[in-house]
Structure 1
Amino acid sequence: MKRVVITGLGAITPIGKNVKQYWENLLKGISGANKITRFDASKFKTQFACEIKEYDALDYFDRKEARKLDRFSQYGLISAEEAIKDANLDFSKLDTNRIGVIFSSGIGGFETFEKEIIDYTNRNLNPGFNPFFIPKIISNGLSGIISINHGLRGVNYCPVTACASSTQSIIQSFNYIRLGKADIIIAGGSEAPITESSIGGFNAMKAMSTNNENFSSASKPFDTNRDGFVVGEGAGALIVESLDSALKRNAKIYAEIVGGGESSDAYHITGTHPEGLGAYLTMEIGIKEAQITSNEIDYINAHATSTGLGDLSEIKAIERLFKSSIDKVQISASKSMTGHLLGGTGAIEAISTCLSVKTDLIPPTINTTEIDENISKELNLTLRKKSLKKIDYALSNSFGFGGHCSAMIIKKYVCQSSSPT
């Protein structure tokens, strides 16, 4: 098996339009929530979200190209280009048959689909659909475009597992590379779900916070008064690479990926198992694959969406798995700042986890003031301010509708033999 490392990062998020801004604002505890500006949300129960601020597609694409791309693809391409540049990848000097793209979206071109259907309805009997309608909405279109743009002929696909999607894209990239089937993979995920039908649909499910008066503090994982998640948008990309390839290129290395767990909750289409059975199994698989024990995990980037059942089921799984080291492991919930990017969330959280491992800094959980009485007081939830802690191993969790569970283990990079054994 080959060792696998992370050599490039890219992000566009509600709290920063590149990795530097995103990381700085995470550490500062900045909330990305604001009143929705993209459409009139006054008729909805939820009137706020974590939008990307002052976004103009023409800052990144020419007008003709922008018209061909749904917003989720734009975000994904922006993050991928930043990661490629950060990794100093020169594809003309590399074997592009061994470079792939595994890039996710939970929903795909939601905005395009909504607009086209509304326009079609308004046109009555004239079925004049945009010729780019289908290419713009398909979730796998983004991974294809990244591949086409750079002539990358390796593995190329799009895991679609709701909010676990982009974590699974990274885990699958890890698997391909450690098995020797690829040298480099651009992995990540993107989502642009701040649309009328998305807000209306999640409101109908009673899944989102409706705290319109205090929107900046509405995402409050683990808090007694949490009332649902806050939807966000954006994308994250990571360059996942074999250590052999990275050393040959003399690339900078952020961290090492050493394990990935995937399982199913097998319980409910939208709800997590009350005892967190899927979450427990997933974390256990990832830790075993990393050939460590739970006592060696220093930090957990929790999925923690700020929903009543979801937060508790994850915490129960953590308390059960880490019972002998519950006072050692530290936890934080970045969705308290970014909101929930659905299929893109795992990627931006993998980036922050990677940076935590590299810098020994843990971003805070903001907005949480009164911890749910069902959560152990022994847990360190990193409330209100960042924390400095030596991190050798970190775990990042992602769980999605359908019972999809994923967890990845990131290790501080230590320059040794390129072989993991």
Structure 2
Amino acid sequence: MKTKIAITGFASISTLGSEIDSIWKNYNQKKSCIQKKCINHQDVLVASIPIEVADEITRLRNSDNKYKNLDNSVLFAILISRKAVATAKWTKADFFGINIGSSRGATELFEKHHEEFIKTDKVSTLASPTTTLGNLSSWVSHDLQVKGPEVSHSITCSTSLHALLNGIAWLQAGMVDKFLVGGTEAPLTPFTIAQMQALGIYSKNESEFPCQALNLSKKQNTLVIGEGAAVICIENGVKENAIAYIEGIGYATEILEHNVSISTEAECFQKSMLMAIEGINLNEIDAIVMHAPGTIKGDQSEFRAIEKVFGNNIPLLTTNKWKIGHTFGSSGMLSLELAILMLQNNTLIESPFYPNKKPTTPLKKILVNAVGFGGNAVSVVVSI
């Protein structure tokens, strides 16, 4: 990286809420937010947004006739983008880019339109523009009334951190001064749940912690889907209003061995982590927020990659999926948010399953990992 990248604003929606104080308070409660919900006539373990946040989304939907036909994934992105740019003190007079992606996109709306088509052989007039990925950033841009570049994409579960990579590339190329980046996901739909169940990775564990992410001795897959979105505002260089800084970025893709898996020692993560920490002493990485989806192979392969890179000096390890579920394309940015909150509060939020040693020094630099189906890994170093 040519220069450090300042994070000047961030906001999110998840099962933890949408306000920073409540999010941090919920992170400090050592219990999962995963509960059963009836989806398509079956009770399924999921991580849903709280009622008060759902009410916020409903008010947003009803605030403008044009918003009434939008998918929740788009409304999530609009709501948190408003909050993030307000924190960064950006206005519509600022020229900034927007890159918000999603793994699933407008899946609830697409399933609704498809069901209508199967029954009637007809499709709603707005079925196409409201279900394309491109409508994410374009609607956020419309809502914020900005004129910068708009990009939406899907790179499965590493989508939001790929958005960060893209925003940094634009900044360091000198094409814009500011970029709003992140991911959004509203995946609690019948078809999406059925897909994960068909893969044999969905949790049937009804214990206190249905998703056992970072339990390296578990005997069954325990992935649980959550809904959520997260964005950050980034700017080049040192800023007086910086909340945190991106000091390193890395990325890598594996040659596919299987449609949904990565190699035994997650070579993609080894490469992305080594790229992200280039020029940084290994001992300076205080903690890693792992991708750790709660599957047997996913958790173990990432842990082996960390062992390969860090040897006997493995940093503190954690993940948030045991608490908030796997939010697909937005998961990497929600992990980055956790890293920022831990740095701000000098407090490690631990997984219930991994026995970290007690921290002896302040948290100053944290590595964040994300990967998607097909081995599309991203690693980011964040500091304060």
Give the TM interval when normalised to the shorter protein.
over 0.9
Secondary structure, aligned partner of 2:225: coil
Is 1:364 paired with 2:322? no
1:104 to 101, 104, 107: 101
Following superposition, the deviation at residue 147 of structure 1 comes to 1.7
Secondary structure, aligned partner of 1:390: coil
Is 1:394 paired with 2:366? yes
Report Cα offsets for 1:164-191 as digits up to 9, x if no partner. 0001111221232233222111111000
Unmatched tracts of structure 1, length 5 or more: 372-378, 413-421
Report Cα offsets for 1:88-119 as digits up to 9, x if no partner. 22233x3x2xx100111011010011111111
RMSD of Structure 2 on Structure 1 (CA): 1.9
Secondary structure, aligned partner of 2:89: coil
2:378 — aligned with what? 406
Secondary structure, aligned partner of 2:130: helix
Q: How many residues align?
A: 376
Is 1:41 paired with 2:42? yes
1:305 — aligned with what? 293
Provide closer, same or farther for how the CA distance between residues 409 and 269 of structure 1 changes in structure 2, counting only shifts above 3 A: same
Specify the code of the residue in structure 2 equivalent to 1:304.
A
2:111 — aligned with what? 114
Is contact 1:265-1:272 (8 Å) kept? yes
Tell which deviates more after alignment, 161-170 or 79-88. Answer: 79-88
1:258 — aligned with what? 247
2:7 — aligned with what? 6
Aligned runs of 1:340-359 on 2, under 5 Å? 340-359=326-345
1:320 — aligned with what? 308
For 2:105 and 2:47, the matched residues in 1 are separated by 18
Is contact 1:265-1:279 (8 Å) kept? no
Provide closer, same or farther for how the CA distance between residues 355 and 175 of structure 1 changes in structure 2, counting only shifts above 3 A: farther
For 2:361 and 2:154, the matched residues in 1 are separated by 34
1:131 — aligned with what? 125
Aligned runs of 1:8-407 on 2, under 5 Å? 8-37=9-38, 39-42=40-43, 47-54=44-51, 55-56=54-55, 57-62=57-62, 64-92=65-93, 94=94, 96=95, 99-123=96-120, 125=121, 127=122, 129-211=123-205, 213-214=206-207, 216-223=208-215, 224-225=217-218, 226-243=220-237, 246-247=239-240, 252-267=241-256, 268-288=258-278, 291-326=279-314, 329-366=315-352, 368=353, 380=356, 389-407=361-379
Is contact 1:159-1:165 (8 Å) kept? yes
For 2:33 and 2:134, the matched residues in 1 are separated by 28
For 2:157 and 2:274, the matched residues in 1 are separated by 20
| Percentage of identical aligned residues | 23
1:417 — aligned with what? none
Unmatched tracts of structure 2, length 5 or more: none
Tell which deviates more after alignment, 111-120 or 387-396. Answer: 387-396
1:419 — aligned with what? none
Specify the code of the residue in structure 2 equivalent to 1:76.
A
Specify the code of the residue in structure 2 equivalent to 1:309.
K
Following superposition, the deviation at residue 253 of structure 1 comes to 1.4
1:416 — aligned with what? none
Is contact 2:61-2:68 (8 Å) kept? no
For 1:243 and 1:131, the matched residues in 2 are separated by 45
Tell which deviates more after alignment, 276-285 or 50-59. Answer: 50-59
Is contact 2:158-2:329 (8 Å) kept? yes
Task: List, as ranges, runs of 4+ consecutive aligned residues in structure 1 with deviation greater than 3 Å.
Answer: none
For 2:361 and 2:151, the matched residues in 1 are separated by 37
For 2:363 and 2:17, the matched residues in 1 are separated by 24
